[in-house]
Amino acid sequence: GLTLTLKVGLLPWLMLRMIRKLDVRWDVEGLINIPTTMLIGIVLVVFSFNLAFPIAQLANTVTRATLGIAMASVMLSFLMMITRRKAIPQVIGFLSMENGLLFAATSATYGMPMVVELGIALDVLVGVLILGVFFFQIREQFDSLDLKHLEKLKEGE
């Protein structure tokens, strides 16, 4: 309950507030083109379901198919984090990956105890706040959230 409230209410509000403060424009700028990204995504989904199939055969409940869905969600989130050039979409990919992991844990264990749920909620909230501080620092130093500027800094060494 608390994790759902945090992820559906508070985190999107914090992200939207951060985006407005940073005056970030929405553009989909990836490191590789969109058709290639889509093909890689399809391959990752097929790979995830094939990887989860032997494990799902051992389960005898409704949650048989959910492990494949959760693994596909994690893989697609990794893809989003890897193929995006801006910092904000990478953080959204990170949060999506965390949602996939939470979905896998919840479906595999028939729910989670309240203590674990509170721990996850606190970890995610602290992580988003720290990433917000990083966003402001990156924006202040480079006047942009484009990661090309950080790569130039790395090449300058």
| pLDDT for the residue numbered 42 | 96
Domain range for 45 is: 2-155
- Residue 157: is its pLDDT beyond 60? no
∠ Cα 132 113 64 (to 5°): 95
Domain count, the chain: 1
Burial (Cβ within 10 Å: 0-12, 13-18, ≥19) of residue 51? middle
Question: Which range (28-42, 62-76, 106-120) has the least confidence?
Answer: 106-120
pLDDT tens by residue, 114-155: 666 667 776 777 777 777 777 776 666 666 666 666 666 666
Report the 10 Å Cβ neighbour count for 62.
8
| pLDDT for the residue numbered 68 | 87
Average pLDDT of span 93-119? 75
pTM of this prediction?
0.70
pLDDT higher for 93 or 126? 93
Average pLDDT of span 74-84? 89
In this prediction, residue 112 has a pLDDT band, given cuts at 50, 70 and 90, of low
Residues forming beta bridges with residue 30, ordered by sequence position: 84
Which residues touch 96 (CB under 8 Å, ≥6 apart)?
A: 73, 76, 77, 80
- Rg of the chain on CA atoms, in Å: 18
User: How confident is the prediction for the chain on average, in pLDDT?
Assistant: 77
Report the 10 Å Cβ neighbour count for 67.
21
Average pLDDT of span 47-54? 90
∠ Cα 3 90 126 (to 5°): 40
For residues 137 and 86, give the distance between their C-alpha atoms in angstroms, rounded to a whole number.
14
